[in-house]
Structure 1
Amino acid sequence: MPTSRNTFSSWRRRLAQRAVHAGWAWVQRTGAVTAEHPGRFRFGAIGPSTRLAFPLGTVFGEPWIHLGSHCIVAEQVTLTAGLMPDLDLGPDPILRVGDGVVLGRGSHVIADTTVTIGSDCYFGPYVYVTSTNHSYDDPHQPIGRQWPRMEPVEIGDGCWIGTGAVILPGARIGRNVVVAAGAVVRGTVPDRCVVAGAPARVVRRWDPVEGWQPPLRTPPPVPIPDGVTPDQLSALSGLDEETAARLAALDPDTPDASADVPVQSGDVRAES
């Protein structure tokens, strides 16, 4: 009898888990914010194919928040414009997010004054971007009661901001910059470099003649060609090293370049 009760209890638990997971998946789909389904939010602009996952973090001042197209805003991301809700911030947007931007889970973008995030920027989880910092000019007053300092923030196109990075007021980050996880960035960062540390400093730069300096420690990854199917990728993984090397060395512009490479079982060319 105890075995039967345990079996029944386990069955009920599995059923309840499935119901909870299915219900939560429905809630997430229904609660997601898009241009077609903005819910209670009235963003100044949401581009096509942009999606804000549910649940969001704190969001206010959305009439002054402009989001580009094809953006992904993960769960628990906070987006604010202005020091507090229900302020009139004027005719121009305060927070601008470009096209194709990814904001990782739990990130914060606090735009009490202008914050601009360029297109194709990728944020890891829990990145903190703010245009405001506490001031402590008067040593006799509580810091939280003193008027904060505000400076615009700019993040150029194509940047990768690592997990837990902090972008402070006044930061000007160039294009295609890597900000290492946990870095604290202030001031101006040039294009095409890597910054790390607290405060962040440049640890690698791109030179037009010599490339990355110091040199990268690993070779660049080879992109998957357009049109390759999952079955073909699986077949490629089964090739021996010699055949894979010969395929990689082929000139695709030579019509009979593959004539001397034997077609093995599972060879990607056998599928085409």
Structure 2
Amino acid sequence: MTNFSIFLKSFLFTSLLVLILSHQVLAAKKQRNWRIGLGRMINTVYYGYETKKGDSDKTKVSANSSGQLYSTSLVLEYLFGGRKSPALFGVEFDLGTSTGQRNFTLENSNKKIGDILQKINTNYLYGGNVYFSDGGEEGFNWSVGLMTGSMAVKQTFQNGNVYDGGSDPDSDITYNTTQESSHTIPVEIVKLGLEWILETAVFRFEYFSTKQTFFGSEDAQTITSEDLGVLNSDNNRPQTETIKLQGGLGLVVQGRF
């Protein structure tokens, strides 16, 4: 047996061994394209109230409040890609599972418009994420996502027209004692995510904006007088609400399957 023949057989044996070991490694490492988990959103919400007094000038009354509400969603995602090509794109669907809420008080001239319980919930969101590198590989990664859908916001008013002392500080207006409103607001979301990918789990931190249109400047909002109605029978003193969704932060924890 010549030296060349020995070399050739050794080379072929080594190559075959490498191929077998490589196949075993690839087979042992499961391709995990599904992600299922929960997302926690910190939503910044602006609420504005406006009406008119009953005086001859119909003096405007306005008050507003902004705050954060924490809500939870079921987050389902599928990544396109495999061992032969990197997973650089995924489709995502979010479904609200629990509402976020906050309490605040609106008043004018030391007289309560109401103590308000505000709630928010994600009806549904769907869209996709683009990954800067392979979303199926363990380690840190960045993503940019676009989502569309709607969110529900509800306000419950209590203790309206309450004031301190014996005399009415503003007799030109009488607020409703109790009332409520509910709104569904369409949203277009652009989000930037930083995620830590483990073998069977993903942790993603997100910053998101909620706009009327993708990459637009106007917040997703509704301006309406329909739910709260008017303060008198002449229909000339409507109660107008302005609700704006101003984006926020999110944390998503998912299992990989």
With the length of structure 2 as denominator, give the TM-score of the two structures.
0.22
Instruction: Return the structure number with greater relative CO, CA threshold 8 A, min gap 6.
Output: 2
With the length of structure 1 as denominator, give the TM-score of the two structures.
0.21
Q: Larger % of helix: which?
A: 1
Bigger radius of gyration, 1 or 2? 2
Q: Larger % of strand: which?
A: 2
